[in-house]
Every structure is written in C-alpha cells, then in structure tokens.
Amino acid sequence: MKITKRQKAFIEKILDIYKEIQGPIHYSTVAEQLNLSKYTAYDMLRLLEEKGYVESVYETHSEGPGRASISFKPTKKAEETFRKLAGAEAASWEEAKERVITKIAAGEFEDAKLAEDILLQVDGGLDDVLYCSNLIGDLVTRLRARGRHRMMDYYASVMLALIEKKNAGDLYLLPGFMLGLASSEDDAVELTDSFLKKIRKYEILLERMDKEARSRLGDMLSKIIAPLRNG
C-alpha cells in the first residue's frame, strides 16, 4: 500500500499520541491533535474499537447532570501489535515509528484493510460530495473513451433511477456498477485497483454523509449521468 506524505505524517502523529497516553483520551482531543473533525476522529476510533485496538470508556462528570463523555484507550492488542511492528531492537522512538510506517506500507500490518480505510479518510482534502461526484465523472469519462454509446444510453436510465432515490444503499451501488460497465479484460490491474480504492473511499464518505449532503450529491450526479442518454 503506497503511503502519501500526508498519510505518513498522520501515522507518526497517531503513534506520538499513543506514546503519550497515560489513560483514556477523549475523541475531541484526538481530533484536535490530528487536525481532523470530531466526527472523523470518532469514526476512526470506532473502527479501531471494532478491531480490538482501543476500548471505549464512559466517564461521568461530578459537576452537574451532563451526559457521560466517551473516551478511548489502547488495548493490550494495540501494545502487542506496536511491539511486533516496531521490533524490540529499535534504538529510539523515531526509529520505532519509521519501522511501523514501513511495515504498514508493505502490508505487514495484520489488518491492512483497516489501515487503508482509516488512511483514505485522511488524504485528499476535497469536500466529500465533490470527491464522490468527481469519481463518478471519471467513470463517465472512461465509459465514453470505450465508445460504448449504446450501452451508456441503455443503462443511463437505470443509473438515474438509483440516483433519484438519493438513498445511501442505492448510491453505494453506482460506482461499482459503472466500473463493471467500463472495464474489459485488457485493463491493467493497476488501473482497476486504483478505481477500486477510490470506490472504497467513496463508500466511506457516503456512509458518513447526512441526508442533505446525499441530496446535494444526487443533484450533482444527475447532471453528470443525464447526458449519457444521448450517447
């Protein structure tokens, strides 16, 4: 898995936070230190919790009747995984971090998909709706390059029907369906893999969109897909 400079810096910061943690840490603190939205930081920590690398702690405050806050702390599994990736012979913290990053990039982390799902949320910098609409636009361009005008005209109505509902479940289907239409046996594996990674990020972004964002995405996608009916 190729790691960008931004993703590498992100992993380094996560490891620094991991080293400094003496007890449960609130997700808003993680968000601030990683320069992420609270929503994204919370989602990442929940992903890690599902895989057993952190556990959530509910803390109530003595001052007033406020709701319990949710904090997270690393588990024994996280400690064991770090030692395995860093190596017992690492001479310094910087060396340990570098070894962890190298092994994640080489796919030696035991849950490579988890690492990729988290890093996909870090990179890019585009607005979520814009990223998703750009991906569909790229797939339309690929369809046109194939010269599959009759196919595009036939399936455009199907795709527009999926978009019109503006349901997350229907929008999930769209990029994979289009990639299938646009692909052939002659495609390079690297090209298809690149699109599949982008589609995975599309799915992650779509999952966290609210109804208003999905509606905005649907409107943009309708404008992109509609011209396909004319070939």
Q: Is 76 helix (H, G, I), strand (E, B) or coil?
A: helix
Distance (Å, whole) CA 199 – CA 21: 34
Distance (Å, whole) CA 65 – CA 7: 40
Pair of tokens at residue 2: 């190729």
Query: Model confidence over 127-139: pLDDT tens digits?
Result: 788 888 888 888 8
Q: Which CATH class is domain 5-122?
A: mainly alpha
pLDDT band at 148 (very low <50, low <70, confident <90, very high): low
Distance (Å, whole) CA 163 – CA 152: 15
Lowest mean pLDDT among 136-150, 181-195, 206-220: 181-195
Q: Which residues pair with 56 in a beta bridge?
A: 72
- Mean pLDDT of the region 166-181: 81
Distance (Å, whole) CA 61 – CA 179: 51
Query: When comparing pLDDT for 227 and 90, which is higher?
Result: 227
pLDDT band at 158 (very low <50, low <70, confident <90, very high): confident
Percentage, residues of the chain above pLDDT 70: 85
Q: Is 106 left (phi over 0), alpha (psi -120 to 50) or beta?
A: alpha
Query: Model confidence over 20-47: pLDDT tens digits?
Result: 887 899 988 988 888 877 777 887 888 8
Mean pLDDT of the chain: 81
Number of Cβ within 10 Å of residue 92's Cβ equals: 8
Q: What is the pLDDT of residue 31?
A: 86
Distance (Å, whole) CA 132 – CA 172: 11
Sheet holding 69-74, edge to edge: 25-26, 69-74, 54-59
Q: What is the pLDDT of residue 130?
A: 82
The pair phi, psi for residue 69, each rounded to 5°, is: -95, 150
Q: What is the pLDDT of residue 182?
A: 77
Query: Model confidence over 57-111: pLDDT tens digits?
Result: 887 655 554 455 788 999 999 999 999 999 877 779 999 999 999 999 888 888 8
| Residue of 104, 100, 124 lying closest to 115 (CA atoms) | 104
Q: What is the pLDDT of residue 140?
A: 84
Distance (Å, whole) CA 156 – CA 160: 6
